[in-house]
Structure 1
Amino acid sequence: MDSNFVFLNSISKISEDTYSEIKKISTFKIIKAGTEIVKINEVPSKAYMVVSGIVRSYLITESGKEFNKSFYLPISFAASLTALMRRKPSAFVFQAVTDCEIYEIDYYKTMHLCNSKPNLKTLYTKVLEYLYIKYEKRIIESITLNAKERYLELKKQIPDVDSLISQHHIASYLGITPVQLSRIRKKIGCPLTNVN
């Protein structure tokens, strides 16, 4: 049985017919590390299912500084949702941190399909619920946990984070400097080697 069909059904039950319709509006892509799948100020029309690799979303300030908002791991959904829902330019960039395999899904065709496929509408709602819960958890962590605790929480989510994601990106995600991250890693006995 198709593993993607099994995965989607683990979120919410969909029929084989609905899955067949989803496949028609999806494209499988292999993208290289550093590729931007959503650019800043671009009006997006696609959502993504990350099959392998890591995607990050980040914000760029007027001074050019980057702030990482999220890391998307296999298997998860990534999208500039506010931009998609409002048909407005994205405030975030979505970029492959590592080489990735993704499904690019036409968001507006999906919304159209939801009108005739109630089980797809339920799946969409469940995905939105998951993304909201993830977002709320991130806000709570950023308010209630100190930098070391946030780093350890990230390591729970991505055990080999230090070999996959650059120290600069990890520090940005945690809201600290790379120097502070180095100190935290040294204190807890993490190897100080890191990807560029």
Structure 2
Amino acid sequence: MDKTTDPYCILQGILSRFSIEEKEWLAFKDGTSIKQIKTGTCIIETGQLVQHAYFCTSGLFRLFCLLPDGREYNVAFTLENDFATSYASMIDGQPSTFSIEAMEDSIVIEIPYLLLQELMNKSHMWERFVRISVERLYTRKEERERELLYLPALERYQAFLLKYPGLEKRIAQYHIASYIGISPVSLSRLLHTVGN
């Protein structure tokens, strides 16, 4: 594994602008592990207590809820160089309200929440990194809620394309339909209309 594919090298490159001290970085490496996740595997399941965050260095995940009628509803996607977890569950100690599934063979760094807390308590730089990551997550969450409430289907689809560039080539249309809140048939009609 070279520096361009080594998960720790990838994350260390992202962390370089936060001036993390070497001893703190080594403590992080010692307390975490690299996991290879096969397509279709859930790293978090609905109802599970969450004790880890996952930093994706390769692959793709979807966050989804199971609706009362049995349909799956995609809440978000996690691509390379981003975190996948249920922050609310991790922080509050409550069972997760959604599942996180690998949509491709993926590689993650599994990070215990207790380690993150310890690092944040010791270092303002770690605290800043985690805060910025969480702020980005909640900004996306608010944008998504606004899109679902106020935008018509076509604009929700366009917002998806802007938020996740190139993802439409990596996932099936029914996953996109689920994310923007319409049926696969409606999405097919929408795309046909736009294409003509």
TM > 0.5 fold call: yes
1:105 aligns with 2:100: no
Candidates 85, 91, 102, aligned match of 1:96: 102
Distance 2:66 2:114 in 1: 27
1:7 aligns with 2:14: yes
- Which residue in 1 is equivalent to 2:29? 23
Distance 1:188 1:15 in 2: 51
- Which residue in 1 is equivalent to 2:75? 69
- Which residue in 2 is equivalent to 1:37? 43
SS at 1:14's partner residue? coil
Candidates 167, 181, 191, aligned match of 2:173: 167
Matched letter for residue 33 of structure 1 = T
Distance 2:133 2:117 in 1: 13
Q: Is the 8 A contact 1:46 1:105 kept in 2?
A: yes
TM-score norm. by structure 2 comes to 0.88
* CA deviation after TM superposition for structure 1 residue 157, in Å: 3.1
SS at 1:188's partner residue? helix
Q: Is the 8 A contact 2:28 2:115 kept in 1?
A: no
Q: Which runs of 5+ in 2 are unaligned?
A: 4-8
C-alpha RMSD of matched pairs (Å): 1.8
- Render the CA deviation track for 1:94-124: whole Å, top value 9, x for unaligned: 0011121111111122112222222212211
SS at 2:80's partner residue? coil
- Render the CA deviation track for 1:57-107: whole Å, top value 9, x for unaligned: 111123322111101111111111111111111111000111211111111
Distance 2:111 2:95 in 1: 18
SS at 2:40's partner residue? coil
Candidates 123, 128, 131, aligned match of 1:122: 128
Q: Is the 8 A contact 1:44 1:90 kept in 2?
A: yes
Matched letter for residue 118 of structure 1 = H
Q: Structure 1 vs Structure 2: percent identity of aligned residues?
A: 32
Q: Is the 8 A contact 1:14 1:123 kept in 2?
A: no
